[in-house]
Structure 1
Amino acid sequence: MYFDVVQGNITRQTAHAMVNTTAPECRMECGVSGTFRDQVEGSIVEEVEREQPLEAGDVVVTDAYNLPALYLLHTVPVSGSGSATEASIRTAIQAVLQRADHLECHSLALPLLGCGGGGFDLEAGAICIGEEIQEFDPEYLADVRVVCRSDRNFEILMDAVREVRALQER
């Protein structure tokens, strides 16, 4: 499976599925979820809120509305305390990969789950995400892109991906 890092706005990616991070109460107020809320022309907030409360690793599938994707996969990368942990991030990424593959998606764009509002260390979170992507054995999923906006986050993410790939080659 091809795995890459992209700098930019996740809502501008073209993929079979895009991943949105949300809180257990399904609020879409800031960060990645706020970006999706602002870009989608439709009742996405109401659609996601009908599924509340969610737990770490739950995945809600919605239409992608006007975005260049077939599906939006909404997941919770935080634990019950409201903060992301290594376990909650790994659980969320595994669930998203499995759901995308189950939907027969060939491509997936996802943010740095748990590393924004979830408060988890960016480098450690990027390593967790990279390891889970590398270990996943898909039937359909062939292209996974981790998307981040800032130059700083992009550099940290690139370093983490290089570390994950180097460990895998050993």
Structure 2
Amino acid sequence: MTDKITVIQGDITQLQVDAIVNAANNSLLGGGGVDGAIHRAAGSQLLAECRQLRGCATGAAKITQGYNLPAKWVIHTVGPVWEGGDRGEDELLASCYRSSLTLAVQHGIKTIAFPAISTGVYRFPIDRAAQIAVREVQAFLSTNDSISQVILVCFSQSTCDRFLKALQQVGETSLN
């Protein structure tokens, strides 16, 4: 299954995929980091459509058109703010990946790119987030073959290295 998962360093707004995932805030009305970059690249029509969605719960996902992005769709998911790990953060982050992938299947999306959800201003520990992301994507792909490629896009090289390590560890586990 790990052959369908790729980790890269890059700009998620430039990828030629069916859908990109936005690490959004609960309002879905834009913000900083990945969220702000996606809103800027997509244009004002994205904000107008997001206003109609009336927000999104943490761990859930909603979908919009991609507008000026190369991707046809944007799946908005709200990751948890890290509060020490005893407030359900791991499950909420896992739910972001599952909810986004479920929406992708419902919309016939074959290729999808995720950012490192919650690892920026939400302070989720990167190694932990990487393990959750890879585990959830692999588990989903093992039961659903309609998605052909998942790209985990990291802004920095150090984050990319940690996601690559998580992918390698999951690959080694699945070989045993």
**Shared fold per TM-score greater than 0.5:** yes
Give the one of 99, 124, 128 matched to 1:124: 128
SS class of match (1:118): coil
The 8 Å contact of residues 62 and 103 in structure 2, kept in 1 or not, is answered as no
Per-residue CA deviations over 1:14-59 (Å, capped at 9, x if unaligned) read 1111100111122412011011012112321232133233212322
1:109 alignment counterpart: 113
CA RMSD between the two structures? 2.0
- What is the CA-CA distance between 1:86 and the residue it aligns to? 0.8
The 8 Å contact of residues 40 and 65 in structure 1, kept in 2 or not, is answered as yes
TM-score, length-scaled by structure 1:
0.91
The 8 Å contact of residues 59 and 99 in structure 2, kept in 1 or not, is answered as yes
- What is the CA-CA distance between 1:110 and the residue it aligns to? 0.8
Distance verdict in 2 for CA 1:78–1:154, change over 3 Å: same
1:147 alignment counterpart: 153
- What is the CA-CA distance between 1:88 and the residue it aligns to? 0.8
Q: Which runs of 4+ in 1 moved over 6 A?
A: none
1:89 aligns with 2:93: yes
Distance 2:127 2:53 in 1: 31
The 8 Å contact of residues 90 and 132 in structure 1, kept in 2 or not, is answered as yes
1:16 aligns with 2:1: no
2:138 alignment counterpart: 134
Per-residue CA deviations over 1:99-148 (Å, capped at 9, x if unaligned) read 10111111001101121122110011011000011111224211000001
2:168 alignment counterpart: 162
TM-score, length-scaled by structure 2:
0.88
The 8 Å contact of residues 14 and 70 in structure 2, kept in 1 or not, is answered as yes
The one-letter amino acid of 2:43's match is: E
1:57 alignment counterpart: 59
Structure 1 gaps of 5+ residues are none
Give the one of 27, 30, 45 matched to 1:28: 30
Structure 2 gaps of 5+ residues are none
Give the one of 23, 32, 39 matched to 1:37: 39
Distance verdict in 2 for CA 1:85–1:72, change over 3 Å: same
Distance 1:69 1:27 in 2: 19
- What is the CA-CA distance between 1:85 and the residue it aligns to? 1.3
The structure whose residues are more often helix, as a share, is 2
- What is the CA-CA distance between 1:84 and the residue it aligns to? 8.1
The one-letter amino acid of 2:101's match is: L
